[in-house]
Amino acid sequence: MVTNLPNTFKDHHIVIELQDVSISFDDETILKKVNLQVKSGEIFIIIGPSGGGKTVLLKLMAGVFKPTEGHVYCEGEEWINLKTEKRRELAKHIGVQFQKNALFDSLTAEENIAFPLKEHTKLDDEEIQTRVKDCLLAVNLTNVGEKLPHDLSGGMRQRLSIARAIALNPEIIFYDDPTAGLDPINTDLMGDLILNLKQQNNTTVIIATHSMDLAYKLSSEHGRIAFVADQEVIITGTKKETQESKDPRVQQFINGRLDGPLTF
């Protein structure tokens, strides 16, 4: 674990908070008046139709996007108020696996994982190598350390991007569509991996996904499901609560029906 945690990480129960958050791009409103809280050790699962705003919500929470209106807090600090130095410090405690996995194409698998360690820590080469190996092992990727991302399968690249996201032992991990392009078995394995990584460090997990199987699996313990559509975020709760939701949009989405209030 990272030892030099800011005090806020020990004292506050709420890790992420959005207050009346709206965001627009070129006058198009994507999310309107969103209020939510994510608590320490929780798994917060964002579901909803393509283009509905899952990635935008995730990036707001991670401080990548600024809200057009409202406030986004991470560990009690409002992202927008943080000076570069503090922002960097907070970012060290956050791991992000981006939707397009954003690996460095010209760096090997090992070099990709070593990158944040070189950037943010004072570890020497040997310590970095040890940490890189641990991360590859954690995601079940061994013997590919020397390979370039384009020589790996889609699933392996997803796992590599997770290995890079966990390199700094973050307290909070964001996953954006980690099972994109994976078959059902590998989707299930990815769910196990995310849960294992979460349990090892009691990480707070925020994840956007299309896969209801993954959403249900992750929501069984410490998990809440949030449905994003029509500029709104509807927190449905556990698997059971989601399945019992009276909102016809939620019902349409989770049952994969073409007919209903959502248009595709």
Describe the strand order of the beta sheet including 77-78 as a list of residue ranges: 28-39, 14-25, 69-74, 77-78
Token pair belonging to 67: 């809200």
- Asked if 263 interacts with ligand ATP (CB under 6 A), we say no
Q: CA distances (Å), 58 to each of 152, 161, 200, 244, in order? A: 26, 17, 23, 25
Binding region for ligand ATP (CB under 6 A) out of 53-61, 154-162, 165-173, 256-264? 53-61
Q: Which of 197, 172, 203 is nearest to 74 (CA)?
A: 172
Q: Residue 261 binds which one of ligand ATP, Mg ion, none, with CB within 5 to 8 A depending on kind?
A: none
Q: Which of 21, 45, 53, 219 binds ligand ATP (CB under 6 A)?
A: 53
Closest approach of ligand ATP to the CB of residue 50, in Å: 4
Closest approach of ligand ATP to the CB of residue 18, in Å: 15
Residues sharing a CB contact under 8 Å with residue 66, sequence separation 6 or more, in sequence order: 60, 79, 80
Q: Which of 69, 46, 85 is nearest to 224 (CA)?
A: 46
Closest approach of ligand ATP to the CB of residue 234, in Å: 14
Token pair belonging to 193: 């991996």
How many angstroms separate the CA atoms of 108 and 106, rounded? 7
Site string for ligand ATP, 123-162 (x = CB under 6 A): ----------------------------------------
Token pair belonging to 8: 């806020």
Closest approach of ligand ATP to the CB of residue 52, in Å: 4
Closest approach of ligand ATP to the CB of residue 177, in Å: 6
Helix (H, G, I), strand (E, B) or coil at 41: coil
Q: Which of 49, 55, 98, 179 binds Mg ion (CB under 5 A)?
A: 55
Q: In 23-139, which residue ranges form alpha helices assigned H by DSSP?
A: 54-61, 84-91, 109-120, 125-138
Q: Which of 51, 154, 181, 248 binds ligand ATP (CB under 6 A)?
A: 51
Q: Identify which of residues 48 and 67 has a Cβ nearer to ligand ATP in the complex.
A: 48
Q: Residue 104 binds which one of Mg ion, ligand ATP, none, with CB within 5 to 8 A depending on kind?
A: none
Number of residues that bind Mg ion (CB under 5 A): 3
Footprint on this chain of ligand ATP (rule: CB under 6 A): 25, 30, 48, 50-56, 99, 177, 210
Footprint on this chain of Mg ion (rule: CB under 5 A): 54-55, 99
